Amino acid sequence: MKDSYTQIVNSTLGKKVAGALGLPQPVELRRYEPGQDLLKDQKVLLIGDDASDNLAETLLGWGLEVRRHPEAHTRYGAIIVDFTSAAQPSDLQRPALAVGSALRSLGSSGRVLVLGRDSTSGDTPELVATQAGVVGFMRSLAHEMRKGATCNLLSIAPGTATHSDAVTGPLRFFLSSRSAYVSGQPLTVGSGHAETPSDADHPVEGKVAVVTGAARGIGEAIVRRLSDDGAKILLVDVPGAGEALTKVANSVGGRALQLDITDPKAGQRIAEAAQQHYGRLDIVVHNAGITRDKTLANMDESKWGSVLAVNLASQLAMNRQLLDSGVLGSTPHVVSLASTSGIAGNRGQTNYAASKAGIIGMVSAMAQEFQKAGGTINAVAPGFIETDMTKAMPTVTREVARRLNSLQQGGRPEDVAQAVGFLVSDAAGCINGQTLRVCGQSMVGA
């Protein structure tokens, strides 16, 4: 759906009028295109101690120009600040203020990436408090970003080098235009096996994926993203969407499976279809979902039960069946679609919010099982995304919702698909049991 306001305020006259009236001035975000440079501006400011030297070498290997201290009259495409060695509150001051001194030099669609240290049970209260402070610093700084810039955090497990594959895959995602609508978000880099793809434009080359709810909307965007990124696709949707499903499947050279995912044997049928057509299954994307909105006082059994059955219970059952089926590859990656409604709640959506919060709990609870299987399970929580559902909203409500985030605009289905594409790649092999919000740092929720 077109955001006419954003287009207007990016015209010469529109900028002048919006500036004079103090109106929001969202910019056109730089989104991913194959073959584009990692950053719009190639200079990167890396703030940290000598331990950051190895990370600097990695950045240089990506063709970036690395600076270790702020320089006058320099435009940066990204600022990376390393707080991993911060153990006392006083350790935050110097690097934080160094970032501040360079912020005005950050270019449009720039990136600020904060590196922190994940806490363990043996850490001192001082260290835990300091690293919690890093999270607060990142979230607040993200609200100060301008010109389409974003700010995110990688919290790194002790003993994991900042230049290892475990870190560089997520780091590259956050620096790239694939994360255009992700801001103010922390991800923890834990244990597991991560591998940086040899071809950044095809990070899931040769993988086999299944996507539910694949006939339209965000599901269709995920299918097209994974296909463009190199995967073979098994597309699943209800029989009523059969014509649209077949059309999308044919356009990407995939296979269509008409299936009600609340069928008690849905997971087994998916496993059988994947085995028949492709011989295995590497990627599972649980996108299918429904809404049946009513205030709780007006909620009936069918509206409550159907939402929980489709959005949550079916995923739990399918995950169990797929784990038991033997069809999963050596590094299976599962991503479920949650929602910011599952984090912050939403009036008239007690059933939907319960189901989406349940997904967040599910991926956390099943992380260990998928790690034992050699893989991961995570969730993506979209915020305000421009879809047919948001198109039907009243105009004023829609405009307000668009501006209630740091980027002052709605996201696109492609933004959700890019986050899914990252989490199902081997580059994210050390990210497990987590939920990544794709919401432009919406003011609704954490």
| Beta pairing partners, 235 | 211, 256
Q: Where in the chain is the domain with CATH 3.40.50.720?
A: 31-189, 208-438
The whole-number pLDDT of residue 152 equals 98
Q: Residue 89 in contact with residue 126, Cβ under 8 Å?
A: yes
Q: Which long-range contacts (CB under 8 A, 24 or more apart) does 168-171 make?
A: 168/58, 168/196, 168/427, 169/194, 169/195, 169/196, 169/425, 169/426, 169/427, 169/428, 169/429, 170/422, 170/427, 170/428, 170/430, 170/431, 171/80, 171/113
Q: Residue 218 in contact with residue 339, Cβ under 8 Å?
A: no
DSSP state of 311: I
- Residue 125, number of CB atoms within 10 A of its CB: 7
Q: Residue 414 in contact with residue 181, Cβ under 8 Å?
A: no
Please work out, in degrees rounded to the nearest 5, the angle formed at the alpha carbon of residue 411 by the alpha carbons of 96 and 238. Answer: 135
- What the block records as the tokens of 228 is 């463009």
Q: Which CATH architecture has domain 31-189?
A: 3-Layer(aba) Sandwich (3.40)
The whole-number pLDDT of residue 20 equals 74
Q: Residue 98 and residue 93: Cα distance in Å, rounded? A: 8
Is 352 in the active site? yes
Q: Which of 437, 442, 446 is nearest to 179 (CA)?
A: 437
The single-letter code of the amino acid at 418 is Q
The whole-number pLDDT of residue 11 equals 76
Q: Which of 76, 181, 278, 352 is catalytic?
A: 352
Which phi and psi (to 5°) does residue 435 adopt? -120, 120
The whole-number pLDDT of residue 146 equals 93
Provide the 3-class DSSP secondary structure of residue 66.
strand
Q: Which long-range contacts (CB under 8 A, 24 or more apart) does 273-276 make?
A: 273/234, 274/208, 274/210, 274/234, 274/327, 275/327
Provide the 3-class DSSP secondary structure of residue 282.
strand
Sign of CA dihedral 349, 350, 355, 358: positive
Q: How far apart are the first and last CA of the chain?
A: 26
Give the rounded distance of the alpha carbon of 213 from its chain centre: 18
* Topology adopted by domain 208-438: Rossmann fold (3.40.50)
- Residue 99, number of CB atoms within 10 A of its CB: 20
The whole-number pLDDT of residue 446 equals 42
Task: Print burial letters for 256-268: b (CB count within 10 Å at least 16), e (below 16).
Answer: bbebebeeeebbb
Distances (CA, A) of 223 to 61, 247, 354: 31, 12, 26
Question: How does pLDDT run along the chain (446 residues), one tens digit per residue?
Answer: 676 767 776 777 767 776 777 777 778 999 999 999 999 999 999 999 888 899 999 999 999 999 999 988 999 999 999 999 999 999 999 999 999 999 999 999 999 999 999 988 899 999 999 999 999 999 999 999 999 999 999 999 999 998 999 999 999 999 999 999 999 999 999 988 999 898 999 999 999 999 999 999 999 999 999 999 999 999 999 999 999 999 999 999 999 999 999 999 999 999 999 999 999 999 999 999 998 999 999 999 999 999 999 999 999 999 999 999 999 999 999 999 999 999 998 899 999 999 999 999 999 999 999 999 999 999 999 998 988 777 776 777 777 778 888 898 999 999 999 999 999 999 999 999 999 999 999 866 54
Dihedral of the CA atoms 32, 37, 41, 47 (nearest 10)? Answer: 90
DSSP conformation letters of 397-409 = HHHHHHHSBTT-S
Q: Residue 81 in contact with residue 174, Cβ under 8 Å?
A: no
DSSP state of 110: E
Sign of CA dihedral 15, 21, 22, 26: negative
